[in-house]
Amino acid sequence: MNKDMRPKQYLYWEQLMEHLHGDTSVFFSENFVYPRQLEIHLPGNHNKACLLGCSHCAGRYFQKDLGTWELDGLEILNKLKGKVPYHIYGGAYTEPILNPYFLTYLATTKRHGNHFGIHTSGIFLDEMENKFGFLTELNRISTDNIDYLSISLDAGSSKSWQKTKKGKEEWFDGIIEGLRKAVRIREKAGKGHAIRVCYLMFEGNESLEDIEKICTIVKDLKVDSLRFSIPFAHYNQDFDTIRRYKNKKERPYSKIFEERLEPFLSKSQNERPYIFYTGPEFTDIDKFSFNKCIYSYYQITFGADGYYYRCSTTATPTMKMCRLGKIDSDIEKFHQLMSKNMNNTWNANICFSKGARCNRMGLEINLAYQDLETKFDSFNGVDCVRATNLAALSKNSLSDWRMIEIESPGFLPDGL
Ligand code: SF4
C-alpha cells in the first residue's frame, strides 16, 4: 500500500503553491506575503488545557502554560481583515472546544471571509448542540466544505476510547451523537462544513473488531472521511530516541496495520466516507535533512501561552527559542513578527537540537523547498528557473523541468 492515497486536503506543498500562485521567488525575498494560515491554540478553559489524557498526545512532554490573550487575538483577526485565508483551531497541548471564546473566534473567521478548520476530541459537541445550538450555528456560519470539523476519535468502542483517551467512558457515545447531529444539520441545510474523523492506531485500539466497528459507524453516520494513522513519537525528545521508536514501533506496526486495514480502505477518492491510511513516512525522522524552514509561509501560530510561535509543534514555553513575540493587539508588530518568521538565517537545526521537529505539513514543505534549492543550484543559480509555474512545482524530476521549457519557452537557459 505504498501509493499516496491522501486526498488533496493533505497535499501541503500544493496548498502552499496555490496560496503563493506558484511564485517561489517570494521565499526569503524583500516582498512581504501573508502566510496561508493562522494556527490558533486557544488556551483551554484557562484552568485546564484539556480534559483527556491521551498517551499519544504530542504535547505530553511540554510545559503547558495557559494565557488570557483571546481579546487581543480577536483584535488582530479583525485588523487583518481576512488577509490570512485559513484559521486552524487546534493545539499543541490544548483542546479548543473548552475555550469560552471559541465560537466568537469562529464567527470572526467567517465574518472576514476566511475558512476555519477545527481539530478537537469532540467531547461535549452533542451537549453544546443541545444547550445552545453550537453545531447548528457552526453549520450556519460555514460557507462550504473547505471549512472543516475534524474529530480525533481514535477508537471504535467506548471501552477502547476510554483506554486510549483516559476520559469518561460515556463521552464516546456523546461524540458519536455529536457527529450524527452535525451530519443531520448539514443534510437539512443542504450545505456546510466538512466532517472528518481521525483514528490513531496503536496497541489497545488496533483490533479487527475496533476497526470494523469504526468503519461501520462512519458509514452509518455519513461523515466525509476517516483517516487511520500511527502516532508519531512525542515532541521534546532527541532524534536517537525517535529513531528507536521508528524502528521498534512505527515500522513493524505500520506493516501490520496496513495489512489489517486493506479490506476496509476506499478504492477511490470519490467514495463517501473516504477511508484511508497515512503511514509514518510522512513524519519520518530520517527525512529531517534540511536546514532552511519555509513553513513560515504556510502558517504562524498563536500559542496557548500568549506568544506567537514559528510553528504549531513548537508552540509551548518548552520551545522558547521558537517564540516570535507576545500576542497583543498591535497589528504593526504582528506584521513585523510575520516578516521575522520568514527569515533565511533561521536554521531548522536550532529546533532539531532542542527536541522540536516539524509536523507532517512542515516536513513536506521544507523537503520540497530543499528539493527546489537543489535544482536551483544545479542550474547554477539561473534566476528564471525560480519564476516557474504551479504545475511544474509539484513535479520532481529534471524531465519535468524540461516540460517548463516546452510549455513556456525561454524559461531555461540554452542546453537545459
Ligand atoms: S520545527 Fe520545523 S517547521 Fe517548526 S520552526 Fe522548526 S524547522 Fe520550522
What is the model's pLDDT at position 284? 94
What is the model's pLDDT at position 204? 86
Contact criterion met (CB below 8 Å) for 366 and 293: yes
What is the model's pLDDT at position 4? 80
What is the model's pLDDT at position 379? 57
Q: Which DSSP letter does residue 413 get?
A: P
Cα(319) to ligand 1 centroid in Å equals 11
What is the model's pLDDT at position 351? 96
Contact criterion met (CB below 8 Å) for 153 and 123: no
- Give the cell for residue 251: 515500522
CB count, 10 Å around CB of 252?
A: 10
Residue 71 has pLDDT above 50, yes or no: yes
Contact criterion met (CB below 8 Å) for 182 and 176: no
Cα(134) to ligand 1 centroid in Å equals 34
Q: Which domains are delineated in the chain?
A: 13-287 (3.20.20)
Average pLDDT of the chain, as a whole number: 90
Mean pLDDT of 295-311: 98
Mean pLDDT of 95-99: 97
Cα(299) to ligand 1 centroid in Å equals 11
Specify the ligand 1 atom closest to the Cα of 350: 6
CA distance 192 to 212: 28
Residue 2 has pLDDT above 60, yes or no: no
Mean pLDDT of 258-270: 94
Cα(214) to ligand 1 centroid in Å equals 34
- Give the cell for residue 230: 500511527
CB count, 10 Å around CB of 134?
A: 22
- pLDDT 10s digits, 187-231: 999 999 999 999 999 888 999 999 999 999 999 999 999 999 999
Cα(110) to ligand 1 centroid in Å equals 28
Cα(187) to ligand 1 centroid in Å equals 40
CA distance 185 to 182: 5
Mean pLDDT of 36-57: 96
What is the model's pLDDT at position 169? 84
Q: How would residue 408 be classed by pLDDT, with cut points 50, 70 and 90?
A: very low
Specify the ligand 1 atom closest to the Cα of 295: 3
Cα(39) to ligand 1 centroid in Å equals 14
Q: Which DSSP letter does residue 247 get?
A: I
Cα(345) to ligand 1 centroid in Å equals 13
The protein residue with its alpha carbon nearest to ligand 1, atom 8, reads 293
Cα(65) to ligand 1 centroid in Å equals 20
List, chain by chain if needed, residues with CB within 6 Å of any ligand 1 atom: 293, 295, 310-311, 313-314, 322, 348, 351, 356-358, 362
Specify the ligand 1 atom closest to the Cα of 362: 3
Specify the ligand 1 atom closest to the Cα of 348: 7
The protein residue with its alpha carbon nearest to ligand 1, atom 7, reads 348
What is the model's pLDDT at position 378? 64
Best mutation site among 236, 311, 324, 353 for ligand 1 pocket (most ligand atoms within 8 Å of CB): 311
Best mutation site among 300, 351, 359, 369 for ligand 1 pocket (most ligand atoms within 8 Å of CB): 351
What is the model's pLDDT at position 386? 46
What is the model's pLDDT at position 380? 52
- pLDDT 10s digits, 345-397: 999 999 999 999 999 999 999 999 999 988 766 655 444 444 444 334 443 33
Contact criterion met (CB below 8 Å) for 257 and 277: yes
For 180-184, 289-293, 396-400, which range has the lowest pLDDT when averaged over its residues?
396-400
- Give the cell for residue 121: 476530541
What is the model's pLDDT at position 387? 42
- pLDDT 10s digits, 283-293: 999 999 999 99
Residue of 32, 9, 11, 8 lying closest to 297 (CA atoms): 32
> Which tops the pLDDT comparison, 122 or 408?
122
Side-by-side strand order, sheet with 37-40: 274-278, 225-229, 194-200, 148-152, 115-120, 86-89, 37-40, 299-302, 307-309, 323-326
The protein residue with its alpha carbon nearest to ligand 1, atom 2, reads 358
Contact criterion met (CB below 8 Å) for 311 and 90: no
For 74-78, 251-255, 412-416, which range has the lowest pLDDT when averaged over its residues?
412-416
Best mutation site among 39, 239, 295 for ligand 1 pocket (most ligand atoms within 8 Å of CB): 295
Residue 317 has pLDDT above 90, yes or no: yes
Task: Kindly report the pTM of this predicted structure.
Answer: 0.90
Residue 43 has pLDDT above 50, yes or no: yes
In 194-245, at which residue ranges do the beta strands (DSSP E only) sit? 194-200, 225-229
Q: How would residue 55 be classed by pLDDT, with cut points 50, 70 and 90?
A: confident
